Structure 1
Amino acid sequence: MGFDWSILSTPNYWPNMIHILTPALGETLYMVIVSTILAYIIGVPLGVILVISSQEHILPNPWVERTLGTVVNIFRSAPFIILLVFLIPFTRKIVGTSIGTTAAIVPLVISSAPFVARMVESSLKEVPYGVIEAALSMGASPWQIIRKVLLPEATASLILGFAITTISVIGYTAMAGAVGGGGLGALAIDYGYNRFRTDIMLITVALLVLIVQGIQSIGTVFARKLANH
């Protein structure tokens, strides 16, 4: 038997829907914001090291570049759902539990940080080396080049990368809901799929699409403004 869509017009339908959607949306936003911030705290330095340690850059070190690149690739290539399960013992040691929104942040960060590192690396490599050479000729230190040349010159690309990373994290949070991570993913599975509520699944998907579209649009607008300056 299909879903009875006539219940959408019942008086208490939307108040009840908002009642169950609000906490789930809050959990998703909590996971996305905290995970993205922590992933960038870890990923940005990793991306910078990958760039400056590459051949013919300001601090070339093939051993560091290859070793760090291998570690980043290993975690980046691991499917998130597998990493989520694999990290359950580690997550339990860090936060005391492997279930819930806070617990989901641990694998989200570990999975997202390598992605951030590669996004940052790609953005920084877009900076013309002639600009770096000019800074070197004026006696700038490696730290000054990173802070005053590489990062400012790549700001527009970094913002687009931030939007892409955040969207990826949103997708990861939906998968985290499958194993007790909470959020809109858990709502879609527990209330929508398991209880055959097509309406809940569609509304959940629509919310996620709106969030993704909003983040992408904001990132694109800011990146264009900075690129034109």
Structure 2
Amino acid sequence: MDLLRRFALVGLIATAVDVIALLVLREQIGLPIWIADSLAVALATAVSWVLHALVSFPDDPARRWYNRPAQYVRASAVSLLADVFVLSLLYELLHPEWWGALLVIKVPALVVAFVLRLVMYREAMFVTVRQDQQVPNPRIAAAGEVRLSVIVPAYGEADRIAHSVQRIRSALSSIESDGGLQIVVVDDGSSDATAAEAERAGADLVLKQEVNAGKGSAVRAGMLAATGRVVAFTDAD
């Protein structure tokens, strides 16, 4: 049974409890109408809470709003007052003489209470959950001296490594001014002046591997030497 059907079933049961309790308390016991209706609505509310917990939401992982009794109590109190007010007013105006007439004037009270519950449940289900999601989750910053390290593996790139370093620094200037940027160039055994050109271009750290061990090895060496909280890599070209 899907959630909507379970919710509707519990609502019907709670309504039946409300109506039957009202008839017994008013017609059989003779309590004043406002006391009888208050007790009937309170009993139906308690039954509704228990049944919703057992039937409507037991397998629903997103039931944070329902696990907050204050929200439910607030909605229940408002709807109870509205129900009692409407029924008591109609009772005083119409003076029903038999139980069938009492049921007829109970209907508007049920409708008003239902609308109020619907509005307040919507607030609890949607507004409250949305507010929870907007609360930032405090996280401990990762270890590192700068915000971002960029690894640039290079092999035989003496003619363009300087341009690459300058482009990276220009593109990430906002990060450099807000947390810091580290550019790490790893010369993977080049026979030209790749390492020297990288240093001349302003790379923060230049590593030189004596033997060409491949791009993966160069990236790994750069990762191990980087000091950024976040580490990324890009090609030299």
TM-score normalised according to structure 1 size: 0.33
Could you say which structure has the larger radius of gyration? 2
Structure number with higher helix proportion: 1
Structure number with higher strand proportion: 2
TM-score normalised according to structure 2 size: 0.32
- Larger RCO, structure (CA 8 Å, separation 6 or more): 1
